[in-house]
Chain A
């Protein structure tokens, strides 16, 4: 007393299903390239593998995510989870179990250290790749002025991050070294996959999701790159990896 309470003039939007916010598709055909971003695509693939139903929302704003990077998952109770939080959530829900591959963590580290940098180089450093992926897809929704500044900023960040060599001997950004490391990783993955359907055994896991995301972006990007050329030419020793990528796409995204 004497406060009189009225009904509010605002009703928040109801979230019926969890929403996964990811970067935009690589091409017009979203089923062929569900996202231009490796982390977004691998998270989406993992959710598809475990059968966790989400509504996919395309976004260009990593600031909306709890950790400042896409993807993030918005649950029905308005809680937001970043990529690591999503994996923990899936484990808590019991839908993501232990991997059948004993050394999965080692292979994940290898892919993140050798293959993911090659995709980042393609998107932000390579001039043709920057036009096709970085400028068009990551920054496409911004006005030109902001695009220029954010593109320059992201280019500088990637240049510093992708430098190879020891600092005391003078590290440098060398595309050839980055691609060589990527090819070595692909060779190891080709051996690991062999004749199997998935890397992790009878069902796909985190390693399958990450490798699929890297290879899908490289193969589907509308430009030529050494890795794409090596994987798609006739008689390529990486044909099994290419088939793996197509198989995942057909099974979980079409």
Chain B
């Protein structure tokens, strides 16, 4: 794979300035159009005619060539401009290209291969040249002119998550072994996650960026003291297989996570002390994600679905089964009005669940009008999470008068949800009226709820909300937060 290649009649060799995601097929189509008659000599310089007649003539000369019916195969492939590429990777990448039977297939597959090189970061831009092969009849030679991708990237930044700001440093090495592999290391500090380090090694399978194998190692200290009187130190190793199809993204993975509930506050509750200390979670999990929204932060159309399941107990000292789902739908009503609705839910079942694995509800990106983790089981001042939860929200985005920008909208919303434990402290309470069935029914029909109105601003990175919240239903252990609330994040209810 070396050297450049000039296309016939192209003049000077291509340089970096000429490279784009272009495609050159001059030689091929002249052959495909070989049946088109050449104009007679005396008409090579036709006399001046009215414009209408000239256009008519051009239309009459147009010949349609169906390249899907013209047989062709790839004879030779060459590539230039990439500093490092493995032979085995190139074989996987070009296998569909060499299997092409028609010109159309050849064009499509070479375009696909060029796109994969760009998607894997191995090339910033690829110009594909395709020409008749001088060696074989009915064969094509293909050449990729590549602009080498960046090998090393270091960046610093300030990110915003769900009600959390973090400052981070990220380093990335691309195309480590010539097959599109990458290694990324990230260190961040934030308002909730005190210190976090993550390293991820990623490699494509079958030279396809949509199929990836990832190995991850991370360590994070999460400060939960304001809500639950403890910090959590998590060290995790994981491997995952990710496959992106037209239907969505599938992820199947295994993780080994060592958790330490530590630094308990002086007034930590007995429920929290029960969960304090070390635990080792060994689990397999599956997640499916499908996102057809036009925007992740303030969508106006499309839907979002995320479903996941996790099973822990293969080794370790934690056994549970966990499932969760999240569905969002957005409908444009015209004139700038957008109706959005979403439903979340989750279930955790096991002999004895830990605060590290439970669900939490409440907050500006969850059920608005309540403090962060402000809905659900609470022992003293500590929110201890639930084994089962559901939440639903509906909102209407409206245009604002005298506001020309589409990024700022009015916002009317209603949220509701509930969270509970399944053991004897929660829905599994025995020996009391009205019994377990009655408690479950009450759980399903008595959500904590709030309504409100405000403004939404769509930034390129994040969604910003300012809402006037009015909680209307709560339990005695909830923490309603009426009044003006500010929210910053990606995913909102």
Q: In the complex, A64 Cα to B244 Cα: how many Å?
A: 44
Q: Which A1-54 residues have a C-beta within 8 angstroms of B?
A: 2-13, 15
Q: Is the CB of A60 within 8 A of B380?
A: no
Whether A151 sits at the interface, judged by CB under 8 Å, is no
Q: Which residues of B contact A62 (CB under 8 A)?
A: 277
Q: In the complex, A187 Cα to B216 Cα: how many Å?
A: 58
Residue of B nearest to A21 (CB): B273
Q: Which stretch, B58-66, B191-199, B474-482, touches the partner chain A?
A: B474-482
Q: Is the CB of A9 within 8 A of B277?
A: no
Q: Is the CB of B443 within 8 A of A9?
A: yes
Given known A10-B378, A63-B262, contact A80–B446 (CB-CB < 8 A): no
Q: Is the CB of A78 within 8 A of B269?
A: yes
Given known A5-B476, A10-B425, A66-B266, contact A146–B379 (CB-CB < 8 A): no
Q: Which residues of A contact B271 (CB under 8 A)?
A: 12-13
Q: Which residues of B contact A64 (CB under 8 A)?
A: 264, 273-274, 276-277
Q: In the complex, A78 Cα to B268 Cα: how many Å?
A: 9
Q: Which A205-237 residues have a C-beta within 8 angstroms of B?
A: none
Q: In the complex, A240 Cα to B266 Cα: how many Å?
A: 42
Q: Chain B interface mostly helix, strand, loop or mixed?
A: mixed
Whether B471 sits at the interface, judged by CB under 8 Å, is yes
Q: Is the CB of A3 within 8 A of B260?
A: no
Given known A10-B420, A10-B421, A61-B278, contact A143–B315 (CB-CB < 8 A): yes
Q: In the complex, A10 Cα to B266 Cα: how many Å?
A: 22
Q: In the complex, A12 Cα to B158 Cα: how many Å?
A: 40
Interface flags, B452-493, vs A, CB<8A=1, else 0: 000000000000000000111111111010100000000000
Q: In the complex, A61 Cα to B377 Cα: how many Å?
A: 23
Nearest CB of chain A from residue B382's CB, rounded to whole Å:
10
Question: How many B residues touch the partner, as a band?
Answer: 35 or more
Residue of A nearest to B449 (CB): A4
Whether B120 sits at the interface, judged by CB under 8 Å, is no
Count of residues in A whose CB is under 8 Å from the partner chain: 30
Q: Is the CB of B429 within 8 A of A11?
A: yes
Q: Is the CB of B427 within 8 A of A9?
A: yes
Q: In the complex, A66 Cα to B268 Cα: how many Å?
A: 8
Q: Which residues of A contact B426 (CB under 8 A)?
A: 9-11
- Among B262, B268, B276, B317, which residue has its beta carbon within 8 angstroms of that of A142? B317
Whether B227 sits at the interface, judged by CB under 8 Å, is no
Q: Is the CB of A8 within 8 A of B475?
A: yes
Whether A74 sits at the interface, judged by CB under 8 Å, is yes
- Among B260, B270, B315, B477, which residue has its beta carbon within 8 angstroms of that of A8? B477
Q: Which residues of A contact B380 (CB under 8 A)?
A: 12, 78
Q: Is the CB of A60 within 8 A of B472?
A: no
Whether A166 sits at the interface, judged by CB under 8 Å, is no
Q: Is the CB of B277 within 8 A of A12?
A: no
Q: Which B252-283 residues have a C-beta within 8 angstroms of A?
A: 258, 260-262, 264, 266-271, 273-274, 276-278, 280
Whether A106 sits at the interface, judged by CB under 8 Å, is no
Q: Is the CB of B276 within 8 A of A6?
A: no
Q: In the complex, A74 Cα to B262 Cα: how many Å?
A: 18
Nearest CB of chain A from residue B259's CB, rounded to whole Å:
10
Q: Which residues of B contact A61 (CB under 8 A)?
A: 276-278
Whether B214 sits at the interface, judged by CB under 8 Å, is no
- Among B261, B278, B448, B476, which residue has its beta carbon within 8 angstroms of that of A7? B476
Q: In the complex, A40 Cα to B419 Cα: how many Å?
A: 38
Q: Is the CB of B472 within 8 A of A3?
A: yes
Q: Is the CB of B264 within 8 A of A66?
A: yes
Given known A78-B269, A142-B317, contact A9–B420 (CB-CB < 8 A): yes
Q: Which residues of A contact B425 (CB under 8 A)?
A: 10-13
Q: Is the CB of A80 within 8 A of B268?
A: yes
Interface flags, A105-147, vs B, CB<8A=1, else 0: 0000000000000000000000000000000000001110110
Nearest CB of chain A from residue B195's CB, rounded to whole Å:
19
- Among A63, A74, A141, which residue has its beta carbon within 8 angstroms of that of B270? A74
Whether B418 sits at the interface, judged by CB under 8 Å, is yes
Q: In the complex, A73 Cα to B265 Cα: how many Å?
A: 15
Whether B206 sits at the interface, judged by CB under 8 Å, is no
Scoring B379, B443, B480 by chain A CB atoms within 10 A of each residue's CB, the highest score goes to B379
Q: Which residues of B contact A2 (CB under 8 A)?
A: 470, 472
Nearest CB of chain A from residue B360's CB, rounded to whole Å:
13
Residue of B nearest to A141 (CB): B317
Q: Which residues of A contact B277 (CB under 8 A)?
A: 60-64
Q: Which B218-277 residues have a C-beta within 8 angstroms of A?
A: 258, 260-262, 264, 266-271, 273-274, 276-277
Residue of B nearest to A2 (CB): B472
- Among B262, B448, B477, which residue has its beta carbon within 8 angstroms of that of A10? B477
Whether B350 sits at the interface, judged by CB under 8 Å, is no
Whether B291 sits at the interface, judged by CB under 8 Å, is no
Residue of A nearest to B427 (CB): A9
Q: Is the CB of A12 within 8 A of B269?
A: yes
Q: Is the CB of A6 within 8 A of B258?
A: no
Whether A150 sits at the interface, judged by CB under 8 Å, is yes
- Among A4, A66, A143, which residue has its beta carbon within 8 angstroms of that of B472? A4
Whether B316 sits at the interface, judged by CB under 8 Å, is yes
Q: In the complex, A79 Cα to B266 Cα: how many Å?
A: 9
Given known A3-B472, A74-B270, contact A146–B278 (CB-CB < 8 A): yes
Whether B92 sits at the interface, judged by CB under 8 Å, is no
- Among A15, A63, A66, A145, which residue has its beta carbon within 8 angstroms of that of B280? A145
Interface flags, B396-439, vs A, CB<8A=1, else 0: 00000000000000000000001111000111010000000001
Q: Which residues of B contact A66 (CB under 8 A)?
A: 264, 266
- Among A5, A13, A68, which residue has its beta carbon within 8 angstroms of that of B475? A5
Nearest CB of chain B from residue A27's CB, rounded to whole Å:
23
Q: Which residues of B contact A6 (CB under 8 A)?
A: 446, 448, 473-476
Q: In the complex, A13 Cα to B272 Cα: how many Å?
A: 12
Nearest CB of chain B from residue A135's CB, rounded to whole Å:
15
Q: In the complex, A158 Cα to B226 Cα: how many Å?
A: 34
Known: A4-B473, A145-B280. 5 other contacts (CB 8 A): A9-B427, A10-B377, A11-B425, A79-B267, A146-B258
A-B contact pairs, 28 of them (CB 8 A): A2-B470, A3-B473, A5-B474, A6-B476, A8-B377, A9-B376, A9-B439, A9-B475, A10-B425, A12-B270, A13-B270, A13-B271, A60-B277, A62-B277, A63-B260, A63-B262, A63-B264, A63-B277, A63-B278, A74-B273, A78-B269, A78-B380, A142-B280, A142-B317, A143-B280, A143-B315, A143-B317, A146-B280
Closest 7 CB pairs of A and B: A61-B277, A10-B377, A64-B276, A9-B420, A64-B273, A8-B477, A8-B475
